Structure 1
Amino acid sequence: MAQYLTMVKSDPSTDKGEQTRRHIYATALTLFRERGFDNVTMQAVAEQAKVAKSAAYYYFPSKEAIIQAYYEAVQNEQDRVCEEHFAESSDFKKRVASAMHTKFDLTKDDRKLLGVVFRYTGEPAHPLSCLGKGTEAIRRRSIAIFERAIETERMPKDLQELLPLALWSLQMGLLIMFLYDESPNQQRTRKLADGTLDLSWKLYALTKLPVLRPVRAKITSLLRAAQFLPAV
């Protein structure tokens, strides 16, 4: 899957400018993987790509912009893979598991690059902060995958809003462990993901009960006030 993640866009292009942009992007990712994000400068990217430094800055104004392009490529590929999986099954549990594990599959060889986004969690204004404005579009797309995963399951309307956000939050928490997981194919994290999802389905069955509707309403209200859910 690595070949998809070295492309900024999914469709081929004969435009020379786009080819140059892709070349700079692919060169930068190779350097980041070899030397680490902190040890690579835009000057080094330009020299390795054999382009003028001004050209590198023209297409990517910063190293962070290259990482943003990488995250977009990961998200594009996850969208594509999940749509294929969703077309094969209407079982929402299998669909959710697919949405959870495809993120691991796509980033397993780039965990250091994935870790850059968590580094700036405490800096809301940073373009790579995982809860900041700079990553808002990717964040919404990540949540939308879980929205599509559960769309075959009949459930109360408020749960249709709450569950994708809860599953995305679970995935974000698991990704932190994923960064540190040195077990083969990160099996510790994957087993924890599967076990947590099994537990989640038991809790999900309980939350659908009418007696818990006021509790769901309160949680929904709190999340709207915190702007984690859109206003109505």
Structure 2
Amino acid sequence: MDGKSAQTRSLVLATALEMFRSKGFTKTTMRGIATAAGISLGSAYYYFASKDELVLELYRESVAEQRVAATAALADREGLADRLKAALHAGIDALAPYHGFGGAFIGSALPPESAVNPFGGASSEAREDAVGIFSDVIEGTKVPQFLRAQLPELLWLAYMGVVLFWVYDRSENQRRTRTLIDGAAPLLAKLVSFSRLPVVKPLVEEALALKARVQS
């Protein structure tokens, strides 16, 4: 993509974000985005086939922003609880511009079928990038070997639960979501630690097996 095309694509994306925030996702149309951006409707469709594709690109950008912020925050944090807390807060920070249309944003970036198969569909690459953030989170921490390969995805799924809470959080600056993160991160870290206990490990292994069967 040459410089002019990249500039036009960025313009369409920025215009869409502004209109989603001011008019809402449902009332925004591709034609309206094209008009506001000063380009033809055909040109808008050349870069993005639909509003959902625009939202998916915004989601990809939020994941990239989360990873940059999380990487910086993780540099001086040790222990799973503190590292997880940093990554979760970085994610909510990155999502902040989309809160006004959070439901549509998450629904388009993570369609219903992703609940069955978190790595299926058009947004699989973005989700893999997001899961990669949680691979960084557990690096250098004490995680039971049998759980290490699966834990980044499990932490990402926990993060998706936080995001769902964030979508409906109307407190100022989503204060309740921040409180949830501060409480949930240490709890999740304790659960990971407990998973190595002989009485708990078989239950965790059974849950992982069930997850694998559901996703197959």
Task: Name the TM tier (shorter chain).
Answer: 0.7 to 0.9
* Alpha-carbon distance in structure 1 between the residues aligned to 2:194 and 2:19: 49
Question: How much does 1:169 deviate?
Answer: 1.8
Q: Show the counterpart of 1:94.
A: 82
* Unaligned stretches of 5+ residues in structure 1: 1-12
Other-structure match for 1:55: 43
In structure 2, the CA distance between the partners of 1:85 and 1:123, relative to structure 1 (3 Å rule), is closer
Partner of 1:21: 9
The equivalent position to 1:212 in structure 2, one of 193, 200, 213, is 200
Q: CA deviation at 1:211?
A: 4.2
The answer for the alignment partner of 2:183 in structure 1 is: 195
CA deviation after TM superposition for structure 1 residue 108, in Å: 2.1
Alignment partner, residue 129 of structure 2: 141
The alignment partner of 1:208 has SS state of coil
TM-aligned CA deviation for residue 78 of structure 1: 0.9
Runs of 4+ in 1 over 4 A off after TM superposition: 120-123, 129-132
| CA drift at 1:84 | 1.3
Aligned to 1:30: 18
Contact 1:158–1:220 (CA under 8 A) maintained in structure 2: no
Change (3 A) 1:29 1:117: closer
Cα deviation digits, residues 171-217 of structure 1 (max 9, x gap): 11121221121212211121122212222233222212244333333
Looking at structure 2, the residues matched to 40 and 208 of structure 1 have their Cα atoms a distance apart, in angstroms, of 50
Q: Percent identity?
A: 31
Total equivalences in the alignment: 213
Counterpart for residue 113 of structure 2? 124
Alignment of 1:77-88 (within 5 A): 77-88=65-76
Question: Aligned equivalents of 2:26 and 2:113: distance in 1?
Answer: 20
Q: C-alpha distance in 2, partners of 1:117/1:130?
A: 17
The Cα shift of 1:159 comes to 1.6
Q: Using the TM superposition, give the Cα deviation of residue 60 of structure 1 relative to its aligned residue in structure 2, in angstroms.
A: 0.9
Q: Is the 8 A contact 1:117 1:130 kept in 2?
A: no
Letter matched to residue 51 of structure 1: I
Alignment-derived partner of residue 56 in structure 2: 68
Identify which of structures 1 and 2 has the higher relative contact order when contacts are C-alpha pairs closer than 8 Å and 6+ apart.
2
- State the alpha-carbon separation in 1 of the partners of residues 55 and 177 from structure 2: 24
Aligned counterparts of 2:146 and 2:101: Cα–Cα separation in 1: 35
Q: Choose the corresponding residue for 1:160, options 141, 145, 148.
A: 148
> 1:147 Cα deviation (Å)?
1.4
